[in-house]
Amino acid sequence: MAIFQGWKGNILGGLAIGIGASVVAPVVIPILATVVKPLTKAAIKGGYLLYDKGRETLAEAQEVIEDLVAETKAEMEEAQEAPSQAVVSEPVVDHQKG
């Protein structure tokens, strides 16, 4: 068909696609919306649950790290307060054994 060759074919093809889309779109869009909307809601809900669980896990990890830091600081302060040299005591001798 000579009519669909060259630039005229592109224009006619574009017009045909545009007219076809405008006729089919009112039927197809509501059908797609009924399928896509629940999928979109499920994806958003899953993302929100994942985000919420991540925040909870991060808060728990932060609490554990804060506890470890507090314990370490307490141990370091205790070590600084202790005398720098340990007192060496002499062994206890029991003289009653014979």
pLDDT along the chain (98 residues), means of 10: 56 84 86 88 95 96 96 92 62 63
The model's pTM: 0.46
The answer to whether 55 and 63 are in contact (CB under 8 A) is no
pLDDT in the model for residue 47: 95
For the chain, domain boundaries = 36-76
Helix (H) / strand (E) element for 43: namely helix 6-81
pLDDT in the model for residue 10: 78
The CA distance from 65 to 18, in Å, is 61
Structure tokens at 81: 């307060």
User: Which residue carries 């600084």 as its tokens?
Assistant: 80
The dihedrals phi and psi of 29, each to the nearest 5 degrees, come to -60, -45
Amino acid at 3: I
pLDDT in the model for residue 48: 96
Q: Which residues contact 3 (CB under 8 A, 6 or more apart)?
A: 9, 12
